[in-house]
Amino acid sequence: MTDCRTLAGTDLLQWRRQQLARGGAAADLDWLIDLAGGVSWASLQRLLLDPSRTVAMVQSLDVLSEFWQRHLHDNVPLQHLVGLCPWRDLLLESSPAALIPRQETELLVDLALTHFQAAPPSRWADLGTGSGAIAVSLALAWPTASGHGVDLSPDALSLAKRNFQRCAPNHNCSLHLGSWWKPLKSWWGILDVVISNPPYIPSSVVHGLEAVVRDHEPHLSLSGGEDGLDAIRIVVNGAPTGLAPGGVLLLEHHHDQSSLVMQLMRDAGLVEVSAATDLEGTRRFAVARNPFAMSS
Ligand SMILES: C[S@@+](CC[C@H](N)C(=O)[O-])C[C@H]1O[C@@H](n2cnc3c(N)ncnc32)[C@H](O)[C@@H]1O
- Is the CB of 217 inside a 6 Å radius of any atom of ligand 1? no
Q: How many C-beta atoms lie closer than 10 Å to residue 117's C-beta?
A: 7
What architecture (CATH level 2) is domain 87-289? Answer: 3-Layer(aba) Sandwich (3.40)
Burial of 2 (0-12, 13-18, 19+ CB in 10 A): exposed
123-141 mean pLDDT = 98
- Is the CB of 163 inside a 6 Å radius of any atom of ligand 1? no
Q: How many C-beta atoms lie closer than 10 Å to residue 148's C-beta?
A: 21
| Cα separation, 151 vs 132, whole angstroms | 10
139 vs 171: which has the higher pLDDT: 139
Q: Considering the chain, what percentage of its residues have pLDDT values greater than 90?
A: 96
- Is the CB of 192 inside a 6 Å radius of any atom of ligand 1? no
Which of 197, 229, 236 gets mutated to test ligand 1 (max ligand atoms within 8 A of its CB)?
Answer: 197
3-state DSSP of the chain: CCCCEEEEHHHHHHHHHHHHHHCCCHHHHHHHHHHCCCCCHHHHHHHHHCCCCEEEECCCHHHHHHHHHHHHHHCCCHHHHHCEEEECCEEEECCCCCCCCCHHHHHHHHHHHHHCCCCCCCEEEEECCCCCHHHHHHHHHCCCCEEEEEECCHHHHHHHHHHHHHHCCCCCEEEEECCCCHHHHHHCCCEEEEEECCCCECHHHHCCCCHHHHCCCCHHHHECCCCCCHHHHHHHHHHHHHEEEEEEEEEECCCCCHHHHHHHHHHCCCEEEEEEECCCCCEEEEEEECCCCCCC
Using 50, 70 and 90 to split pLDDT, how confident is the model at 170? confident
Q: How many C-beta atoms lie closer than 10 Å to residue 163's C-beta?
A: 28
Query: Tens of pLDDT along 51-70?
Result: 999 999 999 999 999 999 99
| Cα separation, 161 vs 155, whole angstroms | 10
pLDDT reading at 272 higher than 80: yes
Name the residue with the closest Cα to ligand 1, atom 9. 101
Which of 104, 129, 217 gets mutated to test ligand 1 (max ligand atoms within 8 A of its CB)?
Answer: 129
| Cα separation, 181 vs 235, whole angstroms | 7
222-237 mean pLDDT = 97
Lowest mean pLDDT among 60-74, 101-115, 253-267, 281-295: 281-295
Domain ranges of the chain: 5-74, 87-289
Nearest in space to 174 (alpha carbons), one of 112, 244, 106, 186: 186
200-205 mean pLDDT = 96
Average pLDDT over the chain reads: 96
| Cα separation, 20 vs 290, whole angstroms | 52
Which of 93, 126, 152, 236 gets mutated to test ligand 1 (max ligand atoms within 8 A of its CB)?
Answer: 152
Name the residue with the closest Cα to ligand 1, atom 2. 221
pLDDT reading at 22 higher than 60: yes
| Cα separation, 182 vs 199, whole angstroms | 17
4 vs 20: which has the higher pLDDT: 20
- Is the CB of 179 inside a 6 Å radius of any atom of ligand 1? yes
- What's the Rg (C-alpha) of the chain? 21
Q: Which residues pair with 85 in a beta bridge?
A: 92
Instruction: Calculate how far, in angstroms, residue 213's C-alpha sits from the geometric centre of ligand 1.
Output: 15
Name the residue with the closest Cα to ligand 1, atom 6. 129
Nearest in space to 53 (alpha carbons), one of 20, 11, 18, 88: 11
Name the residue with the closest Cα to ligand 1, atom 15. 220
Instruction: Calculate how far, in angstroms, residue 266's C-alpha sits from the geometric centre of ligand 1.
Output: 23
Which of 148, 153, 223, 252 gets mutated to test ligand 1 (max ligand atoms within 8 A of its CB)?
Answer: 153
pLDDT reading at 225 higher than 50: yes
186-201 mean pLDDT = 98
- Is the CB of 92 inside a 6 Å radius of any atom of ligand 1? no
150-175 mean pLDDT = 96
- pLDDT (0 to 100) of residue 2: 47
227 touches 250 (CB < 8 A): no
Q: How many C-beta atoms lie closer than 10 Å to residue 211's C-beta?
A: 10
